[in-house]
Structure 1
């Protein structure tokens, strides 16, 4: 970690606290499903109206929860689990039992995050994102968002970062905000954000955050090995809006972290990660022509992990993993009417290219486990949406996907056309059940094999050696998802001004030619058995999800639940990647009319996962939260996580979770 950069960032945040700031508006308990976002169909609408299993998390809810990681940011989203390890700040995202190697497409301002390094920590992929930079996180579950690119047979997570136009309050031409947090069981964080509007056409925002995290203790009071890290992040985003339908956003994000990885039984490493993302998005929406709504974007993501061996025979040696991803996206939506029917036709093309470069100057085998190579993935789609008098809605689409992979003397390719059809029906419009919408979907998805799955080779090191075998004959995975769901939106239900929102869905996702590592006893070169990625399973994952919010002003309640089952249809074996059943309840209060204060609690109940080769225990956690604004320019936050100091280990995680943690947050703002 660059100590000068860290010191500068911390000093900048501290200096900001001496100013007389104006606090960001807190939408505690707001109905998140009403948040306007770019939905699974690439159109702007509220999540409650989307004919898909879609959820939204905003910066305000991240602030109220005191979230310091993506796991904390996304924990209220049903059907989604964030896989975390103590010895890395990177995370993997699991949606409906599918994760790793691009099964969940993760985008930051439209830029795909495809980093992967084989090993004992998140070997299927890792994402590095600073929570303080986020404006919204939109999650679409299942392979229904095929307009967002190839491979997302589990779903899509779109992170949108802050920008000047949303950070500045009405009438402001500039603003600065500082942020400080102390966590009794983890460390401290400080940051600063500033934005300015120059004239009517230009806006600029910059933000920095520094985190110093020490080893945390679990619920038994034991230090969790190698759980400390240091993170420094920065972001700049410019907006150009000259009018007449044109707009342009250009952003750059850097994320830098240092930490030690490995456990007491494996090789330990010093790690330095640098993750850079540059993105640009242009939009032209013709003011007098509904047939033209063009969006064009391009991006570059560069993630590099530098490691130094700390233990073993290679101690002192170095190795590095780097992946560069270049991508683009171009689409147009034409809107028109025929009688009582409203139409929207979207046509687009997209693609990305991964370049993997791995070096091991110490003489190890890193380049065999995460092979060098290149993969190009591209596609085109057409989608037509018809809405009749807000009663019937039909969405049909076709997507063509292709890929080409090169490396290790192997050259493979493939392609496929995937259909999607969705029917939405509001049978009780303009009756006492107005606001209830039913929908059904059938959608297919297509994921090409990754470079590692295809080309991995070499011998596993240590006292228990075995061979990894490449498999250039891997077939792509194909998902077939059936889903039925309901959306319910109602105001003034029990009293004037209250709001109820609910989404529920049942899904049945069959994945043909599912790729997984399998033990082989034939064809091994040196040992009695070996590992090879194969199309071993026709996997089935099914279950239901629920998300509901009720807000009556004085009090608000939220529910989020999931129940999932997964198995290999060929053998009847369990799928070990399916998360445990979970129910999360949030209750909040605004006790005083004339004081901006919010208090509440959250209960997370997770069942035991017995349908696994490595069963886990169930657990329950209680968290408390409070926010208070003594004046408009100052905000105080208090969070108590794991109030009962319970010892637990999430099913998909390799380590115990943190014990009791008390977090104090101070935000201050100045603007004019």
Structure 2
């Protein structure tokens, strides 16, 4: 449950308090609960927050925000179990039904801008930038357990799991800009993230330190169809894969980019609904890559989705 209100202190200052109540309850329905560790779990949390916004003009606003957060683990984080055999080695992902919810205090300072007719009579320029500092208790993060075993044939077995980092600090910034010169549209965004284990002072492995997105499109207005191209760049860095078993030193993985082509159609049915239908082809170069959390990415994918506003 979520409630939010706005209070205009004066024509330039706005105060926005928010209050969220989160509740989750998971209960197994099988007859082998004890065997598989599927224990029942239930919890709730009230998380308030407040934002102060300064708007010197209709086009420009600055804000400062303090929010508290709470995120129970998803079911696939709790119970996903995989055995992946490779040549001379097995990778096993273990379920973790004892995963605790994340709790956080998030501080953010940012600016928003929305300007029309900036460079021509029909263009629009929108931008956003912020810096953040998140203190997280029980951060949910994937990684190696440090355990190792061998099969009867002598093949090595490495174990992975999704676990909690007791205390973590995440800092960084995000920025984005959108420009609409007539029928064309351009989007650029960039984000930087530094995450550190407060108990050890070490950087938390497996989290992408920098990401960027470039998107360009063109709309054929008689049909209200937008064709677009998107490139996403992921910077390499410290993975959660150890250089040697139980060494405490982690491999550095390289960065990569993925490319997407898409088509978005927005038919409008007057006085009833606005539809958005999108079809895209992702990773059109069929590039093989590896995320810093150890996961593999490969293969071209085709996506289609439909949304409607009534």
Larger radius of gyration: 1
CA distance in 2, matches of 1:623, 1:593: 22
Is 1:355 matched up with 2:27? yes
> Which residue number corresponds to residue 111 of structure 2?
486
Kept after mapping to 2: 8 A contact 1:488/1:501: yes
Output aligned runs, 1:284-303, within 5 Å. Answer: none
Gaps of 5+ in 1: 1-146, 149-330, 361-365, 380-398, 400-418, 455-462, 522-529, 668-672
Kept after mapping to 1: 8 A contact 2:286/2:298: no
> Which of residues 60, 67, 80 in structure 2 aligns to 1:436?
60
TM-score normalized with structure 2 length: 0.63
Change (3 A) 1:569 1:588: same
> Which residue number corresponds to residue 260 of structure 2?
623
Q: Which has the higher contact order (CA 8 A, sep 6+)?
A: 1
> Which of residues 548, 554, 567 in structure 1 aligns to 2:196?
567
CA distance in 1, matches of 2:183, 2:73: 51
Per-residue deviation, residues 405-443 of structure 1 (Å, max 9, x unmatched): xxxxxxxxxxxxxx533222123x2xxxx5121112223
> Which residue number corresponds to residue 413 of structure 1?
none
1:569 Cα deviation after fit = 2.1
1:555 Cα deviation after fit = 1.0
> Which residue number corresponds to residue 655 of structure 1?
296
Q: CA RMSD, aligned part only? A: 4.9
Output aligned runs, 1:141-540, within 5 Å. Answer: 148=2, 351-360=23-32, 367-377=34-44, 379=46, 399=47, 420-427=49-56, 429=57, 434-446=58-70, 478-512=103-137, 514=139, 537-540=166-169
Kept after mapping to 1: 8 A contact 2:192/2:211: yes
Gaps of 5+ in 2: 79-89, 148-158, 241-249, 270-275
Change (3 A) 1:533 1:557: closer
Kept after mapping to 2: 8 A contact 1:358/1:372: no
> Which residue number corresponds to residue 605 of structure 1?
233
> Which residue number corresponds to residue 644 of structure 1?
285
Change (3 A) 1:554 1:610: same
1:358 Cα deviation after fit = 4.1
Change (3 A) 1:481 1:469: closer
Secondary structure (helix, strand or coil) at the match of 2:66 reads strand
Change (3 A) 1:359 1:616: farther
Kept after mapping to 2: 8 A contact 1:580/1:651: no
CA distance in 2, matches of 1:642, 1:470: 33
Change (3 A) 1:537 1:468: same
Kept after mapping to 2: 8 A contact 1:598/1:628: yes
TM-score normalized with structure 1 length: 0.32
> Which residue number corresponds to residue 272 of structure 2?
none
Is 1:582 matched up with 2:249? no
Change (3 A) 1:555 1:546: same
Which structure has the highest strand share of the two? 2
CA distance in 2, matches of 1:569, 1:576: 13
Change (3 A) 1:533 1:584: closer
Change (3 A) 1:600 1:571: same
1:644 Cα deviation after fit = 3.0
Kept after mapping to 2: 8 A contact 1:518/1:536: no
1:488 Cα deviation after fit = 0.9
Change (3 A) 1:372 1:637: closer
Change (3 A) 1:367 1:547: farther
